[in-house]
Each structure stands twice: as structure tokens, then as C-alpha cells.
Amino acid sequence: MTAPTATFGQRLRTAMAEHGPLCAGLDPHQSLVESWGLTYDLHGLRAFTGACVEAFGGHVGIVKPQSAFFEVFGSAGIAVLEEAIRDLRAAGTLVLLDAKRGDIGSTMSAYAAAYLGSSASAPADALTVSPYLGFESLRPALDAAADNGRGVFVLALTSNPEGPSVQHARHDGVSVAESMVVGAAAENAAALATGDLGSTGLVVGATIGTAAHDLGLDLAGVNGPLLAPGVGAQGGTPEGLRRVFGDALPNVLPASSREVLAAGPGVPDLRAAVARTNEDLARLLH
């Protein structure tokens, strides 16, 4: 498979300019599937996913399927996920697979090959990764992404209550979160020199309040996309994004799943929810 001629960061910047900053979640959670009047089985999974692909493909800059909600159905569920990835990309929509993979050595290399490699069966445009075995444990994924025009989003500051016990912890005066910021910025240095958005992003929760400021993190200096989960039903607001990200706002991808998906099952209703959310975000970001 030939790598794209443009980097992931370049393609993402173009997609955001054309469709808005929203990252639409594709989360076939049981409660959502059943709220659409569907059965929570493989048939319901296919119907739910198909409606989302039809609604989002070509209408959203980037879509984030949550791998776990497909994996729960075994190999048949993964086949539905792979088909969705292919169909979204064929429609010109970027796909960020939320799988949060992380390991060391040959295992991380295998994850990198599976999701970001040149021979991956249904490669996404980017992948979420977990760095808590050390930022450099991600090297196989970082290198595979760079070699194949793809991206990674590194967990940095998550909104779960347990996150600060790890992410705010300091070693030699440097917080774990800051080490992720520094690592991502280093990966994006070449893109910064050319004026492009880097392809190594961070995951920073939309509801973390002043944590980034309190830890002294230079999120704008990362020069990479900042995925902000939690907008909408999880409590994140457009106004809250400004408090969290400050001058890094132009690089923020606010992610909304339940807020948008609750508008289903009708495709026009899903598209209308996307449009409303993007309009709200556009007013904030511009």
C-alpha cells in the first residue's frame, strides 16, 4: 500500500478547514444502539455503524471509532470496524482509531504494523496510543506513522479521576504529562520548521479544567493536533475548551460521541447534529 504524499498533519489541517474541527465519535455502546431501537447484536452493530458511516462520510473532517465496542463482538465485529474504516476513508473522511495500544519491543512493533503499517489490512489515518511504559516505548508506532503518512495521539492528560495520580506525578521535577508534551513536540519539530501541523498529537480531556496551566504545559508548542474527548454529554463545553487550551485552540479536535449519536438513527438528524456542533465550535475558535 502506497503511503499518502501528504503527512497526516497536513491532511488533518485541510480537513478541519473544510469541515470544521469536530471529531465525531463512532461508539456503538449498548445503550446507544438500543436507544436507536436496534438490537444489541451483530445485526444492530452493522445497522448502527452503517448509519454513522453514511451520515459522517464526506461531512465530517475526522471520525473516531472506539475499537472496544467492535471487539466485544469478536472477529465479526472487527470485520464491521474494518469495513467502516475503509468506507469512511473512501468518502474522503479521516479516521482516528481509538484503541490506546501500548507495549514494548516486538509487541509494540506488531501493534504498529497492525494499525499503521504499510501492509495493515484496514489502516486508519491515526491511532491513539498509551505511553505509560515510557514515551520511547512508542517508537515503533511513531516511526510507522511517519513512514506511512499516518499519525498517533499520545495520552497526556485524561479526564478520569485516577488520571492525575499518574499524569501529574513528577520525576526530577518534570511531570509525566510534561514528558509527553516534550516528546510530542520533538516529533513535530520538522513540521514546525515548514509551517505545517505535526502528525504526533496528544489526548487532553476537555474537562480537565486548569490542569495544563497548573502543570506549566506548553500545548501550543507541541505543534500537533490535540484531541479533546468529553465535549457534550460528558460535560465539556466550547467555552471550557478555551480555559483548557488557551492559545492552542487552533490545533484542538473537540471529540463528541454521545451528544451527536443521540440524534440518531436518522442520517439527516445525525448530520444536523454535526452541523450544529461545528457551528458552536466555529464561533469559539474564530
Question: C-alpha distances in angstroms, 182 versus 37, 126, 153, 166, 210?
Answer: 46, 20, 14, 17, 19
Q: Report residue 265 as a C-alpha cell.
A: 438513527
- Nearest partner of 264 among 24, 29, 33, judged by Cα: 33
Q: Among the options 86, 89, 100, 243, which is catalytic? A: 100
- Nearest partner of 91 among 148, 119, 53, 124, judged by Cα: 53
- The full length of the chain comes to 286
Q: Report residue 205 as a C-alpha cell.
A: 480531556
d(CA 110, CA 132): 18
Contacts with 163 (C-beta within 8 Å, 6 or more apart), sequence order: 157, 205
Q: Is 100 a catalytic residue?
A: yes
> Phi/psi of residue 98, each to 5°?
-90, 95
- Nearest partner of 130 among 161, 109, 99, judged by Cα: 99
Burial 174-204 (b: 16+ CB within 10 A, else e): ebbbbbbbebbbebbeebeeeebbbbbbbbb
Enzyme catalytic residues:
100
